[in-house]
Amino acid sequence: DAGITQSPRHKVTETGTPVTLRCHQTENHRYMYWYRQDPGHGLRLIHYSYGVKDTDKGEVSDGYSVSRSKTEDFLLTLESATSSQTSVYFCAISETGQGATQYFGPGTRLLVL
Amino acid sequence: AQSVTQLDSQVPVFEEAPVELRCNYSSSVSVYLFWYVQYPNQGLQLLLKYLSGSTLVKGINGFEAEFNKSQTSFHLRKPSVHISDTAEYFCAVSERAGAQKLVFGQGTRLTINP
């Protein structure tokens, strides 16, 4: 298994509070991604990073920000959590190269009350 | 932009029967194609991918998929399923250039009945 951990694995929070999810890798891969998984939607890309301090938006980035100060860590912040952000969040990593496989972490289940 | 449609949200089959999970995609540029599997309460794991060359791709656990450019399809097949194949299956595409962001289909839940 690729060395990817996500923390926390489960979180319950209240509407309006900030939340930060962490993805940590031990593979030294260049690319890191945050997706959310919702029933009927599959997985949708929130943000991604192509290097330290290099990030860009994905399909569903509103209400989320990211930071990557070290190769191994990619943080996802919900600036002010809303009930619509209740979801399962997956981090993924991949090497540089055409058609490179993305390896997924175990996920974080977030409930916003 | 790309889009992926998985034509069946749920597929029930009996153990040892063949199965086909259907995937169609739309894209204005050339893409790579992927199938991922998600077992209950786990992350996603790559089953197989099509990059170039032979249109028939073999993956792990006895799965294979065929790329059909004219029909923009990438259907997943297995000749004989096992109880352990019960999972959700996702088809995905990525552009051949740039950050290779994945665009996923909605998923197909495969249920194997004894």
User: In A, which residues are within 8 Å of B108 by CB distance?
Assistant: none
Q: pLDDT band at B95, cuts 50/70/90?
A: confident
- Collect all residues with Cβ–Cβ distance below 8 Å to A9 and sequence separation of at least 6: A106, A107, A108, A109
Integer Cα distance of A85 and B71 in angstroms = 36
**What is the average pLDDT across B97-113?**
91
Residue of A nearest to B8 (CA): A40
**What is the average pLDDT across B94-104?**
86
Closest CA to A93 of B40, B3, B43: B43
Q: To which residue do tokens 């600036």 refer? A: A79
Integer Cα distance of A54 and A67 in angstroms = 8
Percent of chain B predicted with pLDDT > 70: 100
User: In A, which residues are within 8 Å of B106 by CB distance?
Assistant: 40-42
Q: How much is the mean pLDDT over chain B? A: 94
| Bridge partners of residue B64, in order along the sequence | B58, B77
Mutate to test the interface with B, among A37, A56, A88, A89 (most CBs of B within 10 A): A37
Percent of chain B predicted with pLDDT > 90: 82
CB within 8 Å of chain B, chain A residues 61-90: 90
Answer whether B42's CB lies under 8 Å from A1's CB.
no
Q: Do B100 and A50 touch (CB under 8 A)?
A: no
Q: Do B43 and A107 touch (CB under 8 A)?
A: yes
- Minimum distance, in Å, between the CA of residue B43 and any CA atom of chain A: 5
Answer whether B99's CB lies under 8 Å from A48's CB.
yes
List per-residue pLDDT tens for chain A, 113 residues long: 569 999 999 999 999 999 999 999 999 999 999 999 998 899 999 999 999 999 999 999 999 999 999 999 999 999 999 999 999 999 999 987 778 899 999 999 999 99
Position B106 scores a pLDDT of 96
Q: Do A101 and B101 touch (CB under 8 A)?
A: no
Q: To which residue do tokens 């096992």 refer? A: B82
User: In A, which residues are within 8 Å of B31 by CB distance?
Assistant: none
Q: pLDDT band at B86, cuts 50/70/90?
A: very high
Integer Cα distance of A36 and A48 in angstroms = 12
For B33-76, write each residue's pLDDT tens digit: 999 999 988 899 999 999 988 999 999 999 999 999 999 999 99
Residue B99 has pLDDT above 80, yes or no: no
Answer whether B88's CB lies under 8 Å from B6's CB.
no
Integer Cα distance of A37 and A96 in angstroms = 24
Helices (H), A3-84: none
